[in-house]
Each structure stands twice: as C-alpha cells, then as structure tokens.
Structure 1
Amino acid sequence: MSLLLIEAFYGGSHKQLMDLLHQEIEDSVLYSLPAKKWHWRARTSALYFMQNIPPSESYRVLFTSSVLNLAELVALRPDLGKLRKILYFHENQLVYPVRKSQERDFQYGYNQILSCLVAEIVVFNSAFNMESFLKSIGSFLKMIPDHRPKDLESMIRPKCRVLYFPIRFPDLGLSVPHHRRSPEKTTDCEAAETSSRSTSLPSNTQSGTNESMDPHISEEEQKTGEQTEEPNNQNASASEHVPHEISSASPALDTSRVHQRPLHIVWPHRWEHDKDPETFFSSLLKLKERGLPFNVSVLGETFADVPDVFLKFRTTLGSSVLHWGYLSSKAEYFRVLSMADVAISTAKHEFFGVAMLEAVHCGCYPLCPKSLVYPEIFAAEYLYSTPEQLVKRLQKFCTRPDLVRKHRFQGEIARFSWEALSGRFRSLLAAEPGKDS
C-alpha cells in the first residue's frame, strides 16, 4: 500500500474524508481511532499509531489530519518520517473558540505548529482556515513566557495550500421538490417522473387524486392540512451501507398546497457550544412569541456532553418540532434536508461547513453569519451580521415561505464536489507528485 491514511479522530467530516479517499484512491490503507475523547486523541494518538501501524516498505505517502501530532509520530517511527507527509486541516486550534481565554490549552495549537514544521505539504479546507492559522502563529506563541521561537509563519507558509473539502453530493432525483429543480435537470426529471407514474402508481391515480398531492407530505397529513412529527431514526445502523442515490416515484408538487405549509427550518450541526445553539433557539423563541408559524428539524451529531439548551428548548418548541436528533442513516438525513426550506448556521466556529453545503444541495435556502468561512462560500444575500438580522429574515420567510421555496440558489456548489476536486486530490496523494499537487 503506497498511501498511508491516518485519522486520530475518525468521525464526522474527518471520517467522511478518509472514507472517500480510501475508497477512491487505489493502493491505500487506513488506520484510525474512534471519534471519542478528542483531547486525548490529540495528546496521545501518536503513541498508539507508533505501536499499531505495521512497518512496510511499500508506503510512499502519509496523509493525516491535524488532530495527530505528526512530529511525535515521525520521531517515534523514523520509517514513517521518510515518507512524503501531508497534513490536512479541518480546523485549527489557534483560533478555535473557547468560552474563556484561560480555557485555551496551549498544547493543542502548539502540536499543530510542530506538525506543520515536519510535514512536506500542509493543506487547508478553506482560505479562511489557512490565513487565520498562519496569521495567528505570532500572537499565539506570545503565550510562551520567554525564549520564543521566531519566523515560524515564514517557515510554514510556503508549504501551505487550499484544497476544499470534497463532498460526495447525493443524487436526489425526484426526491427534490419540483419547484427546486435546476432548469437543466428539469427535462430529465420530468421524463423520469412521467415514466414512474405510468409504472409505479396505484390505479386510483387515474382519478387525479395523487396528482395534486405534495410527495413530501403523507396522504393523511394532506387530508387534514397538518404535518405530524416524524419519528427520529435513532435505531438506524451507523454501519449501514447507504447508496448515493435517493429516488422517488412521487408525482409533481402542487405548489399552491406547498405555500400553505409553515416554513420548515433546519439546523444540521453538532450539538456543541461552538455552533452557538443558544442564538439559534433564542431566534426561534422570538418567532414563536410573535405568533409566526414554523416547523423545525434539529439534526446533527451529539457527544457525551450535550448543552442544556437542547433539553430546554425541545420542550419549549413543542409541536413545532418535526425531527430532533442525529439521523445515522444518510438517506434519511438527506430526505429531511430536501423537505426543509431554510438551513441556519449560528456558528462561532466554522472553517468549511459541509452540513450547510449539503443542505443547499438539497434545496435549502442558507442563512449564515457574515464571518468565519461563510463569505468565502456564500453570496452576500445569504449572510447576516447580527442575531437581530437573522430574526428579521426568518420573520419575513415565516410570513412568505413561498419566497424561499421558489428561490434558486445563487452560486455554484459543484466546485466543492468530489468530481470537481478528485484530480487535485489524486495528484496530491500520488507517490510521484504531479504539476497540480
């Protein structure tokens, strides 16, 4: 195996990237640790991998995320130190938000600086990530009381480059509402839809009953004009193989019916303080106090310590909640995103934002802070500067949900797809680097 993949925190986007590369890059092998106890992974994973990665003369390239202290590993394993070492930053600890400055553990950022010094190539998932890291090195090292190292930014910068996180967007097919389909895909979708109607629908469709029904609302819900809370798919197997196609034989959407549904808001982020759930829930509470109709799906992965705000607002939001909690089935996760109207980020920390791009791919209108990586990814119309601006935008959408349901995203998310980025990744990870690496 010429490509050695090492992931010290095998979960979330870290797992997503490693699985994709391991699947797509021939002659690769992957070693990982579960995505638990992040702080201990950052402190001690080098020692674990030193003992558990067998020596091999076939290794040529080592690719790892910045959770691993690469300097420790190559010191412990001189054979791995001879490889072409590539370090990938999903985030950086120099500007990672902490609640109080004294809570910042110097060691994590210091480990990342050391890893950059021993790597041949340092890759960041966004320009924001790269520049925030490099420009913070000097001020970060001022925490050292004396005998501080100098000129580390100038030593590391020439190794650095930006290579966006590659997303394998699912083929949603007919599960995307008719009014959200892009013009270039409408013909194919309508052709497939016509075919599915003639072969898949029950005989009573001849009366036209199903022709006027929203495929994303059950027949019973449409009869009553209400949506019921859907069960959270907590029991789906995390190891379940999920195909990259989500299809539906449902008939076309009755847009007049859709416009009667409350705005469906989705928050698809980790349940941790750096995603600022407090601002998100306080915004929803203001909508509720003003008597504005909306439904909400709060998704995202949870860890050992769940902020208390989630338990509090689950009760407060009551019947407005459609989905609550992590959906381990990717197919179900994308189905919920394709049903939603608006995807919200309130993050205090975001260096790329896979969840928001996936939501946009599924037809959601994004609303993101005008900070962090978001101005690099989204046009100005999708950004807000203050929580008050977020509430104002949501208030407008609650009263006119058709505004977002008819909206076509202004941007190009295909540039973040694996198809668009695969060539650069293959060149980067080749044993013999090419001109694009």
Structure 2
Amino acid sequence: MSVLLLEAFYGGSHKQLLDLLKESVEDCVSFTLPAKKWHWRARTSALYFMQAVLANSSYRVLFTSSVLNLAELVALRPDLGHLKKVLYFHENQLVYPVRKSQERDFQYGYNQILSCLVADVVVFNSSFNMESFLSSISTFMKTMPDHRPKDLERLIRPKCHVLHFPIRFPDVTRFLPAHKRLRHPVRCDDIHAPAAKSHIQTSSPSSYPDVEPPEKMLNVAGTNQSHEPTSVTPHQETASPLCGHEGEKLRPLHIVWPHRWEHDKDPQLFFQTLLKLKDRQLSFEVSVLGETFTDVPDIFSEAKEQLVDHIQHWGFMPSKEDYLKVLCQADVVVSTAKHEFFGVAMLEAVHCGCYPLCPKALVYPEIFPATYLYSTPEQLCKRLQEFCKRPQLARQHVVQVSLSSFSWDSLGDNFRSLLKADSGRMFTDKHLA
C-alpha cells in the first residue's frame, strides 16, 4: 500500500471523503477512529495512530484531516515523517464560533497550526476556509502571554491550496415528486459529463466567484431569463400547474433543516423563525434532520413540542436513501449556520430540487448566488413567509447553482493527483491548468 489514509473523526463529511478516496484511489490503506468525543480525538489521536499503524516501507503518501495533530504523529513515528504529508481542512479552529471568547480552547487551533508547519501540502475545502484560517493566525497567536512566534502565515501560505469537497451525487429521479420530474433529467455522478477545468486553487489572495447579476438569474417566479441552469433542479419544458397535478396547490410548503444538532448551526434562529410563521397562522411542514452528538441543545425538545402539528420528520436518518427521499419531497432547505466552511447538506438538498436559503456570510457567497442569501433574521423570515403564502415560487424555481463544480466526477482526478507520491511535495503548474 502506497497511500496511508488516517481519519481521527470518521463520520459526516470526513467519512464521505475517506470512503470516496478508498473506493477511487488505487493502493490505499486506511485507519480511523469513530466520530465520537471530537475534543478527545483532537487531543489524543496521534498516540492511537502511532500504535495502530504498523511500519511499512511501501507507504509513499500520508493523507489526514486536520483533526489529527500531524506534528505529534510525525514526532512519535519518524518513519511517517518521510512521506508526502497531505493535510485536509474540513473546518478550522481559529474561527470556530464559541459563546464566549474565554471558552475557546487554544490547543485545538494551535494543533492545526503545528500540523500545517510539518505538512507538505495543505488543502482546504473552500477559499473561505483557507483565508479565514491564514488571516487569523497572527491574531490567534497574540493570545499567548509572551514569546510569540512570528511569520507563521508566511511559512504556511505557500503550501496551501483549495480543492472543493467532492460529492458523489446519486440519481434521485425515482424519489422526485411530479413537479420536480417535469424538468430535465437529474445530473449525477452516474452520468459522466465532460471533464471540468481543474478546481484546485492556489493560496494567492483571491475573491469569491462572481455572482450573476439579478437580471441574469432566474427570478423567483421561475422565468428563465438567461443561461441554462447547472443545478439538478431541472428546467421546465412546458407550462404546468402549480406542482404538476391536481390538488397539489393545497400542499403546505415543506421546509427542511438537515444540519448537525449543535449550537454552531444556530437552531435557535431557525426555530424562532418557524414559530413566527406559526404565530402568523401560515401553513408549512418541517423536517429536522442531521446528526446528534453527546450534547443536544435544549431548543430541539422545546421546538418539537411547540411545532408538533407542523412536523413531517424529526431526527437523524441513518439510511441515506430515506434521507434523500425527504430532501426530494421538501421545497426549501434552510441554513442558519454560524459555522460553515463548505456545507455538503445544502448542496445535496439542491441536488434533490430544494430552493436554498443561506446566510450571506461564511462560505455561502462562494457557492450560492446572491438571490439565495439573506443578511438578517428578518430577511429569512420574510422569504419563508412569502414561500408559505405562495409555495409555487419555490416549487417552480430553477436553482442557479453549479453542482457539477462540486461533484466527484469533476474533482476526482485532482484528488488522485494529490495522492501521487511522484507528483512532488507541492502542486505544480500542470495541476492548476
């Protein structure tokens, strides 16, 4: 085995990526720890992998996420230090939201900085993730009382690149309701499109992708005024009733929230918004999905009781198929996150035909055009209120999101190049073409 894959938190998007690499990259072996007790994984996983990974002279590349303290592992296992070491950031701890500044544990961000210093290649899943990390290093280190290191960003930045998280979009045609099936065929990784240009970006300062001006995008009522959409939400070929068949007009708007049940996803804002819709006697249904961990915010049990008459689905769905079915039946997917560096769940929901509503912050402006972004809680409430009154505005809309840019079909070759020992310790121009 020439590629050693290590994952200290084998769950969620970390698991999705590792499974894709194991399946698609030749000559790999993996070692993982369950996705539990994240803080202990960040503190101690290096010691576990020191013992779990047997010495093997055939290893050439080591790939790990930033949960692992790579510096500790290399110190404990000098034989692994000779490999091409690739560090992948799903998130970064320098800007992770905490309720109070004194609650931030310095060690987690410090571990990630150390890991970057010993890695050969540092890869981020978004430009927002990379720039927020690099630009925060200096301020973060100032929390040290004295003898602060200098120029760490200058040492780390040349190693850094952006390679979007790759999603394998499944064919969900069989789960789509009539009004979604009326549109052109679903695009998925089972149907190979022409290869897109490389999505690896260097760490030189860059702006987010240009957003189409409103007049070039599909308006809320669903009139395609410009280019063919690249979303899986298909283009309507013919005029049709509100949702494709008789009686569908009466079905309430179905809102889905598919995020981790933790405070950084701001469930408080989401449920407060739904309670406002309820107080205004608006019709809607809600599905609250996503994984739960040790500490679930109290707002979930409170909201379940208060919204009981509106609930379609409540709780994590271990079956991916069942999860996709719910997304396909939903009309609008909402993020209220205070912490998001990519957002797989939002893109999966768009793939299933949902209209996205996201904060105008974090990674979202990098992925979603301005029409899907809200700046204030009041704007979010107003948009949902409009959709509750006229669900067809969401159901007939063609979402303008380039899903192909984030598909494994487009990004797989870049990951294979990343894991080649003979490609050198840094990317070269040929990888950026």
Task: Give the shorter-chain TM-score range.
Answer: 0.7 to 0.9
Structure 2: distance between partners of 1:320 and 1:411: 29
Report the 3-state secondary structure (helix = DSSP H, G, I; strand = E; otherwise coil) of the residue aligned with 2:93. coil
Matches within 5 A, 1:81-100: 81-100=81-100
Report if aligned partners of 2:182, 2:244 keep a CA contact under 8 Å in 1.
Answer: no
Partner of 1:294: 284
Greater Cα shift, 139-148 or 255-264 = 255-264
**AA matched with 1:11:** G
Matches within 5 A, 1:18-417: 18-181=18-181, 184-185=184-185, 254-417=244-407
**AA matched with 1:415:** S
Structure 2: distance between partners of 1:280 and 1:394: 11
**AA matched with 1:312:** E
- Write out per-residue CA displacement over residues 141-200 of structure 1, whole angstroms, 9 at most, x where no aligned residue: 0011111100000100000000000001111123223433485428xxxxxxxxxxxxxx
Structure 1: distance between partners of 2:386 and 2:246: 19
**AA matched with 2:341:** F
Report if aligned partners of 1:50, 1:73 keep a CA contact under 8 Å in 2.
Answer: yes
Is residue 426 of structure 2 the alignment partner of residue 436 of structure 1? no
**How many Å apart are 1:380 and its aligned residue?**
0.3
**How many Å apart are 1:26 and its aligned residue?**
1.1
Structure 1: distance between partners of 2:96 and 2:272: 23
1:182–1:161 distance in 2 versus 1, CA, 3 Å = farther
Report if aligned partners of 1:121, 1:160 keep a CA contact under 8 Å in 2.
Answer: yes
Partner of 1:235: none
**AA matched with 1:137:** I
Taking structure 1 as the reference length, what is the TM-score of the superposition?
0.84
**How many Å apart are 1:382 and its aligned residue?**
0.2
Which one has the bigger helix percentage?
A: 1
The structure whose Rg is larger is 1
Structure 2: distance between partners of 1:256 and 1:160: 54
- Write out per-residue CA displacement over residues 194-231 of structure 1, whole angstroms, 9 at most, x where no aligned residue: xxxxxxxxxxxxxxxxxxxxxxxxxxxxxxxxxxxxxx
- Write out per-residue CA displacement over residues 114-137 of structure 1, whole angstroms, 9 at most, x where no aligned residue: 000000000000000000000000
Structure 2: distance between partners of 1:183 and 1:326: 29
**AA matched with 1:133:** F
By relative contact order (CA 8 Å, sep 6+), the higher-ranking structure is 2
Query: What residue ranges of structure 1 are gaps of 5+ in the alignment?
Result: 187-251
Partner of 2:416: 426
Structure 2: distance between partners of 1:353 and 1:367: 12
Report the 3-state secondary structure (helix = DSSP H, G, I; strand = E; otherwise coil) of the residue aligned with 2:261. coil
Report the 3-state secondary structure (helix = DSSP H, G, I; strand = E; otherwise coil) of the residue aligned with 1:432. helix
- Write out per-residue CA displacement over residues 28-47 of structure 1, whole angstroms, 9 at most, x where no aligned residue: 00100011111110001000
**How many Å apart are 1:431 and its aligned residue?**
2.0
Report the 3-state secondary structure (helix = DSSP H, G, I; strand = E; otherwise coil) of the residue aligned with 2:257. strand
**AA matched with 2:350:** V
Structure 2: distance between partners of 1:395 and 1:183: 26
Question: How many residue pairs are counted as aligned between the two chains?
Answer: 373
**How many Å apart are 1:344 and its aligned residue?**
0.3
Report if aligned partners of 1:360, 1:366 keep a CA contact under 8 Å in 2.
Answer: yes
Taking structure 2 as the reference length, what is the TM-score of the superposition?
0.84
**AA matched with 1:36:** K
Report if aligned partners of 2:7, 2:33 keep a CA contact under 8 Å in 1.
Answer: yes
Q: CA RMSD in A?
A: 1.5
- Write out per-residue CA displacement over residues 285-311 of structure 1, whole angstroms, 9 at most, x where no aligned residue: 000000000000000000111100000
- Write out per-residue CA displacement over residues 357-387 of structure 1, whole angstroms, 9 at most, x where no aligned residue: 0000000000000000000000000000000
Structure 1: distance between partners of 2:353 and 2:250: 18
Structure 2: distance between partners of 1:328 and 1:336: 13
Report the 3-state secondary structure (helix = DSSP H, G, I; strand = E; otherwise coil) of the residue aligned with 1:259. helix
Partner of 2:193: none
Moved over 3 A (4+): 181-184, 252-256
Report if aligned partners of 2:173, 2:181 keep a CA contact under 8 Å in 1.
Answer: no
Structure 2: distance between partners of 1:147 and 1:400: 60
Report the 3-state secondary structure (helix = DSSP H, G, I; strand = E; otherwise coil) of the residue aligned with 1:109. helix
**AA matched with 1:95:** V
**How many Å apart are 1:436 and its aligned residue?**
1.3
Structure 2: distance between partners of 1:132 and 1:256: 49
**AA matched with 1:268:** P
Report if aligned partners of 1:180, 1:408 keep a CA contact under 8 Å in 2.
Answer: no
- Write out per-residue CA displacement over residues 41-88 of structure 1, whole angstroms, 9 at most, x where no aligned residue: 000100010011010011000000000000000000000000000000
Structure 2: distance between partners of 1:106 and 1:382: 35
- Write out per-residue CA displacement over residues 237-264 of structure 1, whole angstroms, 9 at most, x where no aligned residue: xxxxxxxxxxxxxxx9743422210000
Partner of 2:229: none
Structure 1: distance between partners of 2:341 and 2:407: 17
Structure 2: distance between partners of 1:380 and 1:313: 30
Structure 1: distance between partners of 2:45 and 2:296: 25
**AA matched with 1:167:** I
Structure 2: distance between partners of 1:140 and 1:174: 49
Structure 2: distance between partners of 1:157 and 1:293: 50
Report the 3-state secondary structure (helix = DSSP H, G, I; strand = E; otherwise coil) of the residue aligned with 1:57. coil
Report the 3-state secondary structure (helix = DSSP H, G, I; strand = E; otherwise coil) of the residue aligned with 1:327. coil
